Structure 1
Amino acid sequence: AVVYDATELTEYFHAQVPQKPEHPILIDKFLEHAVEVDVDALSDGKDVYVAGIMEHIEEAGIHSGDSACVLPSYSLSYDHVANIAAQTEALARELRVVGLMNIQFAIKGDDIYILEVNPRASRTAPFVSKATGVPLPYLATQVMLGKTLEELDPWSLRKGGFVCVKEAVLPFQRFPGVDVILGPEMHSTGEVMGMGPSFGEAFLKSQLGAGQALPQGGRIFLSVNDRDKPYLPEVAQKFAELGFQLLATRGTAAVLRQRGLDVEEVLKVYEGRPNIVDLLINHEVALVINTASGKHTAKDSKAIRHAALMFKVPYCTTIAAARATATAIGSRRDEVHVESLQEYYAREARG
């Protein structure tokens, strides 16, 4: 369970602990609005090759298997990337890793946290291999059989000059009634990859691969929890500049109007008709941005997310995903190129 205040924590204990009093309770504190970073590295016990530093689109707290990620990172500073690379090399040597290693970091402000270190191959290894042209599983096998990184020289194999985005494929369409909100438990059943000269184009392709056809115009519905409201005006402004009409519930609309944005107000489900679900059913909304906080808020907005899913309206359940979606839609105004992996590699080699 994810709890946001003392009342929710008390409710959880009253509901769960009496049934299984012998079980320990693990309490973790989330880093809210922190950036999560996945790192894959290859080590022979002496030298370390940092294969990929991937920036997650969704913030820390969303399971890494459900979060989109981009390689190379699109918003991390040079100092953060260099610091993470140095920490990865130090950990690989200290742990005497021979083979692949995966580390998950979180960055909040200038502080870098280590979430977990796994001295094994991760689900991101195939993605990093395709995104960089370096066959990590093959090289890891050679290292475990006695070869050194100096002999294999993965640095010389590396390709670049493009951006790659890994997106999770979520099965919600097959399970009517299931809430699409993301959290610490993994839901995804697959992955797709988008590739392009820019982050926007790569993210756009990843969404198409995952089954979300992003709109080019129309009404965009926004309703977010109180913690996300300070970050929403910047995202809403991006969509307004792209020509979208903004549609919001009363509280969110008030926040956006304070920032000078033109917003159409719509009723919540329990406030009467026609409400936001009616508009979704009538295909009058092109995109939904809806974030939930505690149990009660999640329950109130579940009907909105369920309707978006049922009527195939693209949706975002985090501010970070909404921000990336705006960038992707903006990139579609330019010409989008479709090329094979081999063509990307060949163009980089020629360049």
Structure 2
Amino acid sequence: MSETMYRAAPGRYEEMAFRRCGRSGLKLPAISLGLWQNFGGLDSYETGRAILHRAFDRGVTHFDLANNYGPPPGAAEEMFGRVLASDFKPYRDEMIVSSKAGYLMWPGPYGEWGSRKYLLSSLDASLKRLGLDYVDIYYHHRPDPETPIEESMGALADAVHQGKALYVGISNYRAADAKRAIDTLKALGVPCLIHQPNYSMLDRWIETDGLLDVLEEGGAGTIVYSPLQQGLLTDKYLDGIPEGSRAARGSRGGSMGAEGVSDARLAKVKALAPIAARLGLPLAHLALKWVLRDPRVTSALIGARTVAQLDDSLDALKGNGLSDSDLHEIEKALSTG
């Protein structure tokens, strides 16, 4: 059966809020779509395609990928490349497509981390899977403790000079290393556009580490991932760990962070629930509004298993932001446990 022709919604930019990324000329949607999970080779192509269509129809112009997203690694880029070719080709100039490299992609000493060989080889492979001549943003996915930062940042700068990336960024860098990366890129004539750290009400290391201050001083934007703490900051955990959830399957740490689904975290979630209820919000909306309260946060990355789940997350942008009194009440709730 041939795929039906996609036409983007005419009013796709009417409701989305866009934020300038650091001191660059680029704006990103306040909520971006990450393809970390649910877009791999084991997932339904048609479901993923429908989510991508709906996201773009609602003003999500930024689609975040990485070389290892799947499973298997590379599958998310292949899936997105297929949708680009069949549906999104007329809209390519309206989109920001990002990818990353840093985690394991192939065996041997050149298949991960931050060497020039790995970063540039991986970018070529990503472009082939995506069916693109360039990505809009190319990230170093994690710092490499054994490769000089000058080499890793030099590879990113060369990706721009070669026309294979319009902008570059870093991910999972602590403040001190982020400053070194930003300064190194600046010296090479290629600004660091953006940093992608994890950040949520339950994981606030970027505040205590001073990362937000470093990024602001360096003119870089911030796009935060896991703002819902892998589903913990949603209504489904208010009555404990639900059957069938990642936590119930034994993922008490892992992608939910070092603390996982601890009793202390569950206590904080339950303390936040009355605040969300008073504001007439689902807990997930409260969590997304909270990470976006800081103007230094350019965008929040969300995932989605279904179109309905995507719509629910994007609805967090509706209504007012959080007031100072709301934020004070949230701080009190987060001191619980």
TM-score with structure 2 length normalisation? Answer: 0.30
Q: Which has the larger radius of gyration?
A: 1
**Which has the larger share of strand?**
1
TM-score with structure 1 length normalisation? Answer: 0.30
